[in-house]
Structures are given as structure tokens and as C-alpha cells.
Structure 1
């Protein structure tokens, strides 16, 4: 929206006219296209890939050795945990336990089950707690196949015997589907749009446009997964992002269309104006989001590259829908865009005092005046609040969820609790050591002894040589659990100090699921600053190109960093420190999921730039018309406050609905993004932007090699002075 008068020619104007005039063809093409892509995508799309291992980390090298030389150790396993109040040898308890073991052994997807009655190492000394490992013969066992095993174990508990079935596949099997979260998000968006537009027709256009785009985008995302795989949380994340940006982009265009109709334009010219102004800003803002998302590629992680590409596809489809499908819908509605209206009290007040709404000072204008009278105080206070909210970020720890952070009614949590009580919390966080050797006579006992004597290690198994005599592996169990910071410190100590000093310790790699999580967190922590720098640099360049101001682009980057930092801080306080965590659906205190902060940053930076584009472009229009920065900021806020507030409210509603789901990692991401949008729409847009722009004055429009633009039409002195009140 760089100019107040929309151009009547150009690519976007021609596209708008075509979609408006050939609306039936455009709508039919979209419907047929989405149905075709959905059939192919959902029918033949790639399966999710949740293997975060790989790369050059020690855990990745250990995994390569194990896969190459110990193929029999591959495949998923389940852990049956047993706790009997009277001991497992009690006749009634034994009968119950042996029946469960027999049922599990008889399953077509399990291998031989070793009974704890046959192996004393599987039972505690007091014989009250026992465990056994159950191999899964099908590494691609479906969730529906594992769920009956979980149910069998849960139903057998009782009468003094508690049983739990753990393991990654058990956790996945008993995790309920996301449920009505997306539906609730759509309903909340509909309510917000109805309040903002006051019309059922205007409310429905952004929602229908977004839903069609999301359906086609997710189907395309599944097809892209054959080339660039992504983890299973990507669909939920992409749906949230697509729903939010899809509705927001359509909202901006419909708002501009309604304004044009109110100014006396005919529906076709109003559509052209909306697409060449708001539509252009949508394309620019969407491109910013896509670039920000693709910044995840800098992380160098295979699956996060998949997340970046998949979510970018969703945003691209919503952008295309906003400038093609939506104009076709506008062609069908015409002047009926305001049909089925919500009665508004403001219209009665306007009739009573006789002042047209466009001549009345809005709350946004009055608020801007308040901030601009004391800009330094407002900027300092707002900045201080953001820094205080961001402070907890300094203690952020990264990890991946395991059974210990699942809801306490889950069988996997029961298994974790029983095993931790009987065999120590480190049993669920084993460290698998692997190395190549020259012959079967290789002696790795000095290394095992050095590891066993390390403080923090509970015990270690004896070394095992592969059938080909070329590799050796053993397992050590820490005294601390999977999510404990001490476990990560222990892994670093073993690698940096213990193994290099032990005879034969060179070339011994520390691996296993726990080490993979630790390496993944370390890699994210080291690469995150680079990704942030790349995303900021590219977004700033794009914003300079749009608003033609270096100062405003740098302001936007700093403000976005502050709001995202504040969101990180709030997320740490809630999830990691436990403040209001249980009330928001987090079962216990836990580290931040590794992928959440690196996913949050590009998404939020892109979305923040969206609001910046729509606000600043309006301010720029007013400044080029009047040459008065204060008046431009006041009027820019007044013209965009309602639509940006509605857009932010929709985003907050969509992201917050993730808390209704059952995936703790997705809930973390949704909470963090909802908080960031709330902060951005309130503290940043309502306080920092007007305060900082007032302080900078004409310096806001600085661009190397160009003079500040002069007003193209003088404003009445009284109006300009009024803007300074």
C-alpha cells in the first residue's frame, strides 16, 4: 500500500480484473485444483519422519556404527514396568503379571518377551518392582497396532499391581489426536471477524478463502515430503500458521475493499484498488514470512529444512489465494459484502451528534496523541517491560519431550515412574558407547571401568563385540534423568575429559537417544544466532525496498527482536519454571522443546513484519501526502488500528487453541507465538512504534542519496495542530 490512489494498470490490477470478471472460472479452477491435489496428496503423500539424528555429531557417528555392525539391535522396543505392593511373587500378583506377559508375547507385532521371573537382573532386590523389554518386529508398526497393547497393560492394573507400558511407540499410540483445536480456532476467528466487519458475508470470505488454501497447501506439503521429509508436528504447525496468515491476509484485502465501496467506488474498481494496495502488501508480507521460514535451512538440520519448506508452501498458497480466489469471491458479493449486518450503536450516536465517522477522532488517534506527548517516557517504559519479560530467556534449556513430561494418566508415564523408582531415573536415559576395533580380541574394559567410576554414572554393562569383530558397544546408565541438566553435563564430561584420558578411549563415541537430544540442543544453540542474523538481514532489506527508509527498517528489526525475546522469556517462565504451567495444560516443569525457539523466531519475525508492513505503509502514505511525521503516525494508526487488532486477535486465538491439544511441544510453540503476537499488537504497535517515530522525527525517512519527501497537499493548520494535542 505505498500510495493512497491505487494504480489502475499493472500486473496486480490486471490480475484483479481477470479474477473479478472471470470469477466463475477462477472459483471452479480453485475447487477442482484443491480436490485433485487433496486426493493425490493425502492418498500418496510422504509419511512423517521423526528421526532427528544425523549430521556430524558424536551421537550420529555412534548410530552409524551401531546400524552397520549391530543390525540385531535395530528396531523399536517397549518397556513393561511392574510394581506389586506384596511383591511379584505373590500368587495373585504373579497370575496377573504372567497373563499380561503372555498377551504381549502373543501379539503379531512383538518379538519374544523375556519374563522377569526368568532373569533376576530384571527385578529389584526387594522383588516389588520388575521390568522387561519387548521388541517390536515391525519397525513401522502403526499407532492403531500398538494401542491395544497399551490398553491391555492399563486394564490389567489394579488390586495392588501397577503396570505401565513405555517406549516411543507407546507414547505415540496413547497420545490422543489433536482434537477440535483447529475448529475452535476457526470459530474464534469467525467471531472476531463478525465483530470487526459487522457482517456475516464479510466474515465468511476470509475464512472460506483461508480454509481452501490450507487444504490445498497441506496436501501439497505432503507431496513435497517425498523430496524434503518433515516430522509429524509439521502438519499441526502448518495448519496453525496457514489459518492465521490466510485469514489475516484476506482480512486486510476485504477491509480495503469495504473502504473503497464506502468512498463511492464500484465493486470492480474497489476490487482492483484492494488488490493493488492491500494485495501488494499481502504479497510483500507473505514473501517476508516465507523468507523468514526458509531461514531455518541455515540450521543445517535435515528435518527442520523439511519444516521450513513445508510451512513455506502453506504460506505461498494462502498468498496466491488472497490475490486470486478472494477477488473472485468479491465479484460474487459486490455491494452485498455488508449483508446480514450486526446492528451497531455507533451509527445511532453519529446520527445524534451529526458528525460523520471519518471526521471523529478515534480512540487510536487519541492514544497516539498521549504517547507522542511523552515519547521518551513511553519508549523507556515499554522497552523496560519487554526486557523484564525477556529476562527468563537467559536460563532457557533445550531438550525433547520424553515419558517424564507426559500427562500422569498415561501408561508411558506410569512405566517411567515405576522404572525410575526401582532402577533409578537414569534407566530411561541410557548412554550407548560405540567404537570401531581391529579384532574380536580388542579389550575395552579400561574404558568401561573409567566410565563406571565417573561421578554421575550408576553402572555400566560389559562391552559387547559385533559378529564381524569390527565394533564394540556398551551401555552406561546415569544417576539422573533424561530431562535433568546434570545428564547433559555428564555427557559433555565423558566426551571432553573421561574418554580422552582412558586407555583406548580415543574414538569411542557416546550415542543413544539421550545423547541425540543433547547434541541436537547444542547444535540449535550454536546455530540459532546465525539463523537470526540471516532472517533479520533479509527482512530488513525487503522492508527498506517497500518503505524506502533505512531508519524504519532498523526500528522494525529491533522492536521485533524485543517482542520475540519477551515471548521466549514468558515461555521459559511458564514451561520451564512452572508459572501457571499446570493451568495451561503442562503436566510438569520441563525444558523447552528443542525445535520450538528456532521455529518460533522466523514465524514470529515474519508475522511481526506483516503488521509492520500494513502499519508503516499507511503511515508512509500520510507522510508523503502531508510531510508531517506526527500527523502521519496518528492517521496511520487510526486507519490500521482496527484491522491490525482484529488480525492479531485472530492469530492469538488460533495459536492459543493449541493448548487444547495433547502434544506438549506443539502447545509450547502455540503458547509462545500467541504471547509474542499479543505483545507485538499491544506494547510494540501501540506504544513503541508511535513513541520511537516521534523521537526520530524526519530521521524516520532517511535513505542514503535521497532527500525527505515533501507534502504533496497541505493540510489545514487546525487539523495539523489538533494532531499534536
Structure 2
């Protein structure tokens, strides 16, 4: 750290030029990042995806299918509606790489209650689907009597991407101006207030540029567009706030070079340990092999790396050039007379450690009570704002054409011989009879239901050439070599526990045939199982690695343990309040279940972010304790000197992340509220009350360690 301080001061202009070049280079590619992000990120390399591939390659059922939803006014004539549908489908088929897979004109069951739908398939490359969607939309003509609009998986994902970009701009327009006001209040000077914002901007731009090149190699979810700037901007500003505050303190009575050196040795060291804690939380998500967690982890690692690097190189170089000029353009001076409110608050807490610790713990436990009612779901169309037609059309489609409480599960049965042979047909019939005895199964569509024949009748009919030729279309549609397609109707919603248990049980059941199960229940089951099976590895990694890092930082057995336990309590309280707000509908909107990734994102991200304040506070206490050996004095003075800066840092973090609560995508709203709440609770109840109370109660035991103590020394 000493060499780093000397380097950033000696070559300050060169360091700044290097960072300007980085921003210009990566900034160009950062602007292109949205174009390579795709999907919600809920992709998993499992049986569901295997079935989807087989359905496309062997049974010509398109994976990238879109729903073209038609609607007419009640006064409009039915024959005119048919003409409108026919004309629209003709226009759509003229779009390159687009085919009408099913049409309401050929299948009357696709028309009901003044509504109809067609399934469109896309047979081009994935890169061209955005242009394809826009070209299709350009062919749609709506009027007072008839309307047509797109929905379905690819459309919803595309709209999610657009909404994510809009949300990012909206959140920045809300968060950044308020962050500037907080910085002005904290530093009381324009130049000092702008530096953290500049540092945050620099780190985010470079990180987003790096993510562009990463996204060229691996698939990244659209949620990266929200979570990465959220983390990076908040973290970059937080680090800079700590650094600039210490630099200004050290400038009093010291030269710029001395102030820079002391700041890098103290705040720079704290930033590295703090950033490492955040990094560990994000890396822990890599244990879960689901696209969205991999994407957010990769995006988070990029912004944490650039934030720390900017804080310990760009920032000291910039401050070395500014020197005392950092205090220019002061808006109003700080009154130094009398005892500050922070000193009075710290003294109040330290005099009543037992009462303050008990009251704070009780409040946190009460806040955590609703967490047991948390209901987790995978975000679907209802995650979009109601202004998007893909959401409204999908909701109308579900209401009109899909029975609530039922779902269709495709099963690919693999036989030892060709599916049309007698032995294979007999085994298939036996499997179907077994399926039909299951209480959750309402019906099974197969080659037998399509031909209205039993296995014995099919075996006989296939020996007659004339009848065999008549049966060939059904066999071509429902069999392929030694594969047979079964469509199983369940008396359960696709995302229900019953449906997920059913597909898991049947895939593990011993049958005469090899079964591969797909559909929404399988998709949901694989995602949930992957998370529930791997989350324990993630938690263990976070807790153990964080303990080791904090132990190395503070040479204490109890302080890391105390920090981890308090983080768990405060996060439990956060999740409880989030459940009350969203599931209870207490935010002025309709009740909404919690998006599956929110608790994992929040725990992985916030666990590290909240360690910022732990490291900021304990670093200062530890520094004073090394000089004095007096735990109570170190705790009091450390709390007094860091209270204002921690409060300001937390306020900025809350503003930047909380601004996403005003966005349109529900999971992004939940993410913003969760992180902002967690930081608020952590920076107030935990860091300002619970930590000093316990530090006071434990006394010198705080610093016990089996390792030899570091020598106390004053850094010059």
C-alpha cells in the first residue's frame, strides 16, 4: 500500500491519462452492451432444454414460437374478422424467417369469445430475432374493430430488455440528482462532492465495456443492465466518499503527498478488504448453474473490480493533483464549536449497551417475522409494466384459451426399437395406462388417441398398406424413429408444487421406456431444485470466506463472527419487510409474489455491501485501538469519526438502489427496495447501535486472537 501511494502520487498525471483512455475505449463498447444481452436468464442445461431441442429437431415444434393475438369488437362481423386474420397472416408470412405454424383459420379451437391466436415460428439465427419482431409488428394494422399484437416468450424477453434500458435511465434520473445533494451535504463543497460521482461513473463505464466483451463469449441476462450499474455506482461512490473524507482530514497540517500516503494506507486498505467481501458474495452465486445468477455474478465481479481499482489508483491520482483545491467552492462552513450530535449519540449508545442491544435485536426479530410467508416465483409476463402489449395480450390469451389450474406436460418416450413396431407400441400403451391411473393426470394425447386405436389394432392396421398410408401423417406427427411424443394434461398449475413434484417423481420412476419430461413444470422444477440444492454451497462459501477475510483484516476471532451474525439478522429483517410490502400489497400496488432470484441476489450482494460499513467502522476502531490499547475509547472515537461518513455513504447507497423501486419491471423494483432497505437497516440499527453496544459489552475480548498481535505503530 505504501508503494501504491508513492506511485499514484509520483505518476498522478500518467495514471489519470490512463483512466481517461480506459473510459473512452470501454465507453464506446458500454453503449453497445444492451444489444448483446438476451432473455431473463432463467436458462438451465437440463432435461427441459433437452426436450425442447428434441421437439424442434424431431417433431418440428418450434422453440422460438411467438403468439399473434387477434381481438375484435363485439359489433364487428365474424366474416370480416376472418378476412382480417387472413390478410394479417398473409402479411406476416412475407416477413423473412417467419412461418405460420398454426392458424385459427385452419384450427377453430384457436378462436373463442371474439379472440383468436396464431403460432408463428422463427427459423433464423438468434441474433436476428429483434429485427424479425420489429418487421412483424410493422405488418400489423389495427383499427377500431380489429387488433393484432405479439406476445409469447421471445416477445416478452425482448420487451424485458427494452424495459430494462428504460428503467436504467429512469433510475439514474431519480438517483443521481439526489446523490449529488447528499454529497453536497456531506462535504459542503462542490468539488469534493463531485469527485465520488465521477469515480462511480468511471468505474461503471469501464465495467460495462468489459461486460460487452464478456457477453460476446457467454450469454448474459438483461438483468445485468440493472444490477451492474446499481452495484457499481453505489459502491464506487461509497468507496470514494470514504477516501475523500479521510484525505480532507489528513490535509489538515500535512502536505498533499503525506495526506495521500496516509489515506491510501488507511482508507485504501479498508476499501480493498471491503471490495473483497463484496466480491466473495457475488462469486458465491456462481455455484448455482442458472443463467441469471451466473450473469449477475459476472456483472457484479466486473463492477466491484473496477470500483476498487478506481478507488485506489484513479482517486488518489486525482486528489494528488487537486490537493488543497479540493476544499474550494465550499457552500457553507461546518461549525466546530461544542460537542457534535454524533458525539452525543455515540456516548448515549455506549452508556446503555445492554438496553440498546436488546431493543435493537427485538426490532430486527419483529421485522423478520413475515419472512416465513415468502412465496417465490419465476418472473413471467406479469413482471412487465401494464403498458406493454406483450403483457396485456398474454394475460388475455391465458384467460381465454388456457384453463386455470391445468397444464400440459410433453414427454418424450424412447423405445428400444422403432416406435411403430409392435413391441414399442405395446410398451407405449402400457406406459399410457399407468399414466392415466395417476390421480393428477386428466388425459394423455398420443398416437393412440390421435388414431383412436389400441396397440393391438395399430399393429394389425399397419400390416395393411392402404390403412398404413392413412396412418402415416399421425405417426409422422407423434413419432420419430424410436421416439414417441406424449402430451399429458395435469390437474395442476404449471408452477405449482404438485406439478413440480409430479415431473420429478415420474422422471425417477422405473418404467419400460426411457422418459424425458419437459414443459413448464419441468422448467420450474429444475430451476428450483438447482437453487435449493446449491444455495447451501453458496452460503457456506460466503460465510467462511468472509470470516477469513475479516479475521485477516482485524486479527480477531469474535469481530468477524459478530459481523456475520448481525448481517444474517438484519437481512432476515429486510426480507420480512419486503414480504410484507410486496406480498401484502402495502406499496400501493397489487400484491405480488417475490421473484425467485431476489433473496439470493440480495443476500449475495447486500452481505458484501453491508460489510462496507463494518469494515469502515471497525477499521477506524482498530486503528485507534492499535494506538491506545483502550477498547472503549477506540469504539467511542471510531463511532464518532465514522458516523457521519457511514450515514452519508448509506444515504447514497439507498438513493442509488432505492431509485430502482420506481421502475417498471417488478423484479427490478423488488431488488431496489430490498437492497435499499437492507442498507438502511444495516447502517442505522446495526452499525450505529448494535455494533458499538456489543463492542462495549465484550471489551478487550473483541480483539482476542490465537495469532500474535501486530505491533502498534503510528504510520508516517
1:29 to 18, 22, 26: 18
2:389 to 411, 425, 433: 411
Distance in 1, matches of 2:359 and 2:104, equals: 64
- The CA deviation at 1:467 is 6.3
Per-residue CA deviation, residues 603-651 of structure 1 (Å, 9 max, x unaligned), is 1111111110110111122333333323322211110011111111111
The alignment partner of 1:111 has SS state of strand
Question: Is residue 284 of structure 2 the alignment partner of residue 295 of structure 1?
Answer: yes
Aligned length: 673
Instruction: State the Cα RMSD in Å.
Output: 3.1
1:329 to 307, 312, 318: 318
Q: 1:420 to 1:74 in 2, by over 3 A?
A: closer
- 1:277 aligns to what? 266
- The CA deviation at 1:700 is 1.3
Q: How does 1:304-703 map to 2 (within 5 A)?
A: 304-344=293-333, 346-347=334-335, 350=336, 355=337, 360-425=338-403, 430-438=408-416, 439-441=418-420, 442-443=424-425, 444-448=428-432, 451=435, 454=438, 460-463=444-447, 468-478=480-490, 481=493, 484=495, 487-496=496-505, 500=509, 504=512, 507-580=514-587, 582=589, 588-703=590-705
Distance in 2, matches of 1:405 and 1:458, equals: 30
Distance in 2, matches of 1:408 and 1:627, equals: 61
For the 8 Å contact 1:165–1:414, the answer to whether it is kept is no
Per-residue CA deviation, residues 250-286 of structure 1 (Å, 9 max, x unaligned), is 1111000100113x11112111111111011111111
Q: 1:417 to 1:163 in 2, by over 3 A?
A: farther
Distance in 1, matches of 2:5 and 2:683, equals: 30
For the 8 Å contact 1:88–1:129, the answer to whether it is kept is no
- The CA deviation at 1:460 is 4.6
- 1:722 aligns to what? none
- 2:470 aligns to what? none
Distance in 2, matches of 1:466 and 1:700, equals: 70
The alignment partner of 2:191 has SS state of helix
Q: Gaps (5+ residues) in structure 1?
A: 1-11, 583-587, 713-725
Question: Is residue 131 of structure 2 the alignment partner of residue 165 of structure 1?
Answer: no
- The CA deviation at 1:67 is 5.6
Q: 1:597 to 1:435 in 2, by over 3 A?
A: farther
Distance in 1, matches of 2:547 and 2:437, equals: 53
For the 8 Å contact 2:406–2:491, the answer to whether it is kept is no
Q: 1:100 to 1:49 in 2, by over 3 A?
A: closer
2:255 to 237, 259, 266: 266
For the 8 Å contact 1:392–1:572, the answer to whether it is kept is yes
- The CA deviation at 1:697 is 2.0
Q: 1:80 to 1:493 in 2, by over 3 A?
A: same
Per-residue CA deviation, residues 577-626 of structure 1 (Å, 9 max, x unaligned), is 433161xxxxx434322322222212111111111011011112233333
Q: Gaps (5+ residues) in structure 2?
A: 448-474
- 2:178 aligns to what? 188
For the 8 Å contact 2:581–2:587, the answer to whether it is kept is yes
Give TM-score, length-normalised by structure 2. 0.86
The alignment partner of 1:225 has SS state of helix
Per-residue CA deviation, residues 536-581 of structure 1 (Å, 9 max, x unaligned), is 1101111011111111110000011111222222222333343316
The alignment partner of 1:509 has SS state of strand
Q: How does 1:26-105 map to 2 (within 5 A)?
A: 26-39=15-28, 47-48=36-37, 50=39, 52-55=42-45, 57-63=46-52, 65-66=54-55, 69-70=58-59, 72-84=60-72, 86=74, 90-105=78-93
Distance in 2, matches of 1:168 and 1:571, equals: 28
Relative to structure 2, which stretch is displaced further, 14-23 or 185-194? Answer: 14-23
Per-residue CA deviation, residues 316-341 of structure 1 (Å, 9 max, x unaligned), is 11111111111121122111111111
The alignment partner of 1:112 has SS state of strand
- 2:462 aligns to what? none
Give TM-score, length-normalised by structure 1. 0.85
Question: Is residue 177 of structure 2 the alignment partner of residue 198 of structure 1?
Answer: no
